[in-house]
Amino acid sequence: MASLQSIKTTGDRIEIINQLLLPHTTEFIPIDTIEQAHDAIKSMKIRGAPAIASLAALAVSSHLSKALQTTPPPDFLASTDALKTHVEPILDYLYTARPTAVNLGVATRRLSKTLHSSIESGKNARDVAQHLIAEGKAIDGEDVARNKAMAKWGGDWLLKRVGDAADKVKVMTVCNTGSLATSGYGTALGLITYLHEIGKLERAFFTQSTPYHQGSRLTALELQTLQIPSTMLCDSMVGSLFQHNNIAGIAVGADRIAKNGDTANKVGTYNAAVLAARHKIPFIVVAPISTVDLDIPDGSHIPIEHRPPLEACLVRGALYPFSTNANGVKEQATVMVTPEGLEGIYNPSFDVTPAELITAIVTEKGVAVKVDGSNVFDLSSIV
């Protein structure tokens, strides 16, 4: 079965699946401008650390490519100074769309570096723009291969850790880290997909991941599409799951990994890690090298996004029993599950799992485990 794709490109045209409408409505929306890219990321029409970085990079590529084909050319292509003055604010603006996932900043910084090095090498404005277009596409294009690499590293590591005793394993995950959250295949969900592909996965378990329901809306759909046996659980049921099932490992993605291995991921990940430690279940973080932020020593420096309080009061989905509109599309609804006017709502989008609770961190380069007796990771072997 073909996996779901969060971003589709045809030449300079970019379309994304509006993830706010999944799983019942598959609507592709065009991203024609930098502002639309920023809005799509901020409003979570597209989400997941690698996917938002890819969209930002592709939006810059498309913007510049269209400019190169415009007659007469826009003023900002008249000189490298003009181009720099035009592109730098765009990169700064895209960077502000969401704060926690470091990948977005890595992508905009990489484009900024390309801009500067290209100008310094003596290229003219049009050639610098071409260079930026290629770099933006490369940021998106590199994602799938590295996801497959880390999925294999992590999957093989888990099987080795569990030993030959287990024919097939049960693995739990949090949030959505599959093809919708990346440019394809996924990170933690990639590891689960890999185990399924090699016949070693008994069942995937995934939390609903409230309040945005990335698990019940997106991971559920991805696993169903890939025909991977799976079971959903409410976030509050993780302890019960661990008490009553032989879970071989927990695989999660990451939005930012500090130098010591402390990891920010979807809120609820920390709870799962505490319970995994209690039950001695390996807890594996799977993320590309671009998610590792060596500039911060530990998780206390990770900026944590707090989403608007209202978002924690609302549940969106299809009306049930299903009813369809004139176009045969299931009617969508947003319902409030709290009393109107409720004040005092705590709504962080991410939490930080201390390195102490993480068994392994996997990137496309390999697997890092803690040095015996230490509570921190040496990530130099995997970045």
Q: Give the count of beta carbons closer than 10 Å to the beta carbon of residue 265.
A: 29
Q: Which is nearer to ligand MRU, 214 or 290 (CB)?
A: 214
In angstroms, rounded to a whole number, what is the distance separating the alpha carbons of residues 74 and 64?
A: 10
Q: Assign residue 10 a region: left if phi > 0, alpha if psi is -120 to 50, beta otherwise?
A: beta
Binds ligand MRU (CB under 6 A): choice among 6, 114, 177, 183? 177
In angstroms, rounded to a whole number, what is the distance separating the alpha carbons of residues 30 and 9?
A: 10
Answer yes or no whether residue 260 interacts with ligand MRU by CB under 6 A: no
- 173 in Cβ contact with 189 (< 8 Å): yes
Q: Which is nearer to ligand MRU, 114 or 349 (CB)?
A: 349
Answer yes or no whether residue 149 interacts with ligand MRU by CB under 6 A: no
Looking only at residues 3 through 42 of this chain, which bind ligand MRU when binding is defined by CB under 6 A? none
Q: Which is nearer to ligand MRU, 251 or 367 (CB)?
A: 251
Binds ligand MRU (CB under 6 A): choice among 50, 211, 268, 317? 50
Q: Which is nearer to ligand MRU, 106 or 128 (CB)?
A: 106
140, 255, 262, 293: which one is catalytic?
255
Q: Answer yes or no: 295 catalytic.
A: no
Go through 302-321 and write b for each residue having 16 or more CB atoms within 10 A of its CB, e for each that does not. Answer: bebeebeeeebbeeebbeee
Answer yes or no whether residue 146 interacts with ligand MRU by CB under 6 A: no
Using the rule CB under 6 A, give the single segment among 138-146, 150-158, 174-182, 339-347 that binds ligand MRU. 174-182
Answer yes or no whether residue 253 interacts with ligand MRU by CB under 6 A: yes
Q: Which is nearer to ligand MRU, 87 or 151 (CB)?
A: 151
Answer yes or no whether residue 151 interacts with ligand MRU by CB under 6 A: no
> For residue 372, what are the contacts with CB-CB under 8 A and spacing of at least 6?
none
Secondary structure (DSSP) of 9-27: EETTEEEEE-TTSTTT---
Using the rule CB under 6 A, give the single segment among 53-61, 175-183, 319-327, 336-344 that binds ligand MRU. 175-183
Bridge-based pairing of strands 201-207 and 169-173 is parallel
Cα torsion 141, 142, 147, 152: sign? positive
Token pair, residue 223, equals 């696993």
Answer yes or no whether residue 193 interacts with ligand MRU by CB under 6 A: no
Answer yes or no whether residue 181 interacts with ligand MRU by CB under 6 A: yes
Using the rule CB under 6 A, give the single segment among 130-138, 250-258, 317-325, 360-368 that binds ligand MRU. 250-258
Answer yes or no whether residue 266 interacts with ligand MRU by CB under 6 A: yes
Helix, strand, coil percentages (3-state) for the chain, rounded to 5, are: 40, 20, 40
- 228 in Cβ contact with 204 (< 8 Å): yes
- x/- map, 195-234, ligand MRU, by CB under 6 A: -------------------x--------------------
> For residue 45, what are the contacts with CB-CB under 8 A and spacing of at least 6?
16, 18, 19, 20, 29, 39
Using the rule CB under 6 A, give the single segment among 43-51, 219-227, 323-331, 353-361 that binds ligand MRU. 43-51
Comparing C-alpha atoms, which of 81, 106, 86, 91 is closest to residue 59?
Answer: 91
Residues that bind ligand MRU (CB under 6 A): 47-50, 101, 175, 177, 181-182, 187, 214, 253-255, 265-266, 349
Catalytic residue annotation: 255
